[in-house]
Amino acid sequence: MQGYSAVSAGEAKRSQTRRIVVTGVLAAIAILLGVTRLGFIPVPTAAGNATIMHLPAVIGGVLEGPVVGGVIGLIFGLTSFFDATNPVFKDPLVAILPRIFIGIVAYLVYAGLRRVRVPAWVNLPITGFMGSATNTVLVLLMIWLRFHWRLPVILSVAVVNGLPEAVVSAIITTAVVGAYLGITRRNAKSKIS
């Protein structure tokens, strides 16, 4: 998957430690956003809140690949399941399953656009938007399948909640990944000089 052919075994091991740690730390942010009000922006709709809790999964997918993104999404799903005060999210098929795909989709979008040489400042907002849209669409799909909400209700939640969420996600993903990659590049330079 990662094509380590040009890298020594030691390098490969090191990046695996990296993946474990980054997953853990970003999952910690997902949990923190979930248990405090930091991750919620209250919106007066049936679903309750616009959330930025899925962002760690998006950022993990972009920085460390689909496995990391998927696992962070899984942990996010577990917290939202454990912590839910909304009956809809006490259903693991709604709370957990769709969340696994957030980071995977984010990685696919990001890697795909990178391959066709889309510059990062265009790529990152699109990735953030799509990662968030994945969350909205799949969760609402599961709600529709499990709770039989009417389509107009589902669609209005998608627009009222999903759209602002996706825009916020686009902005924050760009800011965070841009800042972080900027930092590592500067560090690398200072090490050489």
Q: Which residues bind another protein (CB under 8 A)?
A: 13-14, 16-18, 20-29, 31-32, 35-38, 41-43, 46, 48, 50, 52, 55-56, 59, 63, 71, 75, 81-82, 84-88, 90-93, 147-150, 153, 164, 168, 171-172, 175-176, 179-180, 183-184
Q: How far is the CB of 114 from another protein (least distance, A)?
A: 19
CB of residue 192 vs another protein: minimum separation in angstroms?
Answer: 17
Burial-class residue 75 by CB neighbours within 10 Å (0-12, 13-18, 19+).
buried
Q: Kindly provide the b/e burial profile for residues 140-154, where b requires at least 16 CB atoms within 10 angstroms of the residue's own CB.
A: bebbeeeeebeeeeb
Q: Given the complex with another protein, which of 42 and 119 has the nearer CB atom?
A: 42
CB of 117 to another protein, least distance (A): 25
Closer of 112 and 186 to another protein (Cβ)? 186
Q: Which of 158, 131, 152, 141 is nearest to 50 (CA)?
A: 158
Which residue, among 113, 109, 48, 45, has the nearest Cα to 80 in the 3D structure?
Answer: 48
